[in-house]
Amino acid sequence: MSKRSVVVLVVIISIFLLSSVVLAMGRKVKPAEQQPVSLGTSQPEVELVRPEQLETNPPITEEMKESRPREAGIQLAADESTKNRQIQAALKNAGYDPGVVDGKLGPKSKKAIREFQAANDLKADGKVGAKTWAKLSTYILQAGAADSASGPDTNFETGTPKKGGR
């Protein structure tokens, strides 16, 4: 084969491939089926609930009273602000309103602590001691708090320590 024949052959193949790509781009793709593909596992159906449909202070059932708190292995932080954020986040996850999760135990937080203690057959003194934390700490790992209980103490954008409320 001559050099000229090879060049002509390469040009013809290139034109063919390019036209195939252009034709493929113009085709309409059929929409996928609406039913999700099952991987052979059965999953329970989940009902979505709006936040306003949730109870603010869910009732404590007899089963909940009798069961021992699971060992979460979470201890309160050493510094006051982080410890208070942990308490506030756990209260919020448990369904009690501590107000803004800001690391300051104000009147709303104290009221939420007392309500939690009363609902869990604890001395309702508004102080988080060992018994209260043993029950409250089971809620610290649950999702749904507006703020992280052990969030970072620095602003990652600037690298500076956080100041005050968010």
Q: Is the pLDDT of residue 150 over 50?
A: no
The domains located in the chain, with CATH, are 57-150 (1.10.101)
Q: d(Cα 140, Cα 91) in Å, to the nearest integer?
A: 8
Q: Are 74 and 137 in contact (CB under 8 A)?
A: yes
Q: Is the pLDDT of residue 97 over 90?
A: yes
Complete DSSP assignment for 24-37: HHHSPPPPPPSSPP
- Write down the pTM of the prediction: 0.45
Instruction: Scan for tokens 């034709």, then name that residue.
Output: 23
In tens, the pLDDT along 52-71 reads 777 777 677 777 666 655 55
Query: Residue 30: what pLDDT?
Result: 56
Query: Residue 121: what pLDDT?
Result: 92
